[in-house]
Chain A
Amino acid sequence: KAGVTQTPRYLIKTRGQQVTLSCSPISGHRSVSWYQQTPGQGLQFLFEYFSETQRNKGNFPGRFSGRQFSNSRSEMNVSTLELGDSALYLCASSLGRTANYGYTFGSGTRLTVV
């Protein structure tokens, strides 16, 4: 079956712009989580969506937002981009509400803010 698909793979944006990233989970998976990966910081949790509802949110400013559609696809939006937002953004999908079902990552979207 298809894995977790993230689009686009690469993005270059200018400071102050906004950006939308997309994540399509594995078929049947209802949970989508988003992480920011930067060198030295590891993976930091942004938020999780399950059945179109945000269940958890990490410690990121309100410029970072997301949503999930009825087909479980999720989008993440970052407004008023800053240079420090340059990172690899990973999404991960899971079958259910708990970690018991495993966690599969997509290949990520590499965002560069100039």
Chain B
Amino acid sequence: GENVEQHPSTLSVQEGDSAVIKCTYSDSASNYFPWYKQELGKRPQLIIDIRSNVGEKKDQRIAVTLNKTAKHFSLHITETQPEDSAVYFCAASAGGNQFYFGTGTSLTVIP
């Protein structure tokens, strides 16, 4: 089955700096890659997603890039703010509703 690896497991950045989280996947059939943000004690929420026919997608301060050849995708957060502090999960799907998640990155933005 699919295996999604996520790095780093923890990340601390100064407010205003950029943060990058990287994921790799193993199944070339995967074609949908969402990113979720989970604040402490809350449910995971979708923040951005990308499909395999697109190389990059942006939404304000958040961007995701996908390299199908290398089987990796990354989340980029620019101009980080304290409210960006949370656990971020990447995931991969081959088109159905079964998602394979990475183990999460705990992001801390230091004011």
**Which residues from chain A sit less than 8 Å from chain B, CB to CB?**
4, 31, 33, 35, 40-45, 48, 50, 55-56, 58-59, 90, 92, 94, 97-100, 102-108
Q: Which of B35-79 contact A (CB under 8 A)?
A: 36, 42-46, 49
Name the distance in Å between A101's Cβ and chain B's nearest Cβ: 9
- For the complex formed, measure the closest distance between the CB of B88 and the CB atoms of chain A, giving whole angstroms: 11
| A to B contact number (C-beta, < 8 Å) | 67
Q: Which 6 A-B pairs have the closest CB atoms?
A: A42-B103, A43-B101, A99-B32, A105-B43, A56-B98, A99-B93
Beta-carbon contact of B45 and A94 below 8 Å: no
Q: Which residue of A lies closest to B98 (CB)?
A: A56
Q: Taking the nearest CB of chain B, how far is it from the CB of A37, in angstroms?
A: 8
- B25 proximal to A (CB < 8 A): no
Q: Are A102 and B46 in contact (CB under 8 A)?
A: yes
Determine the chain A residues whose CB is within 8 A of the CB of B91 once the complex forms: 43
Residue of B nearest to A107 (CB): B43
Query: Across the interface, do A48 and B98 meet the contact criterion of CB distance under 8 Å?
Result: yes
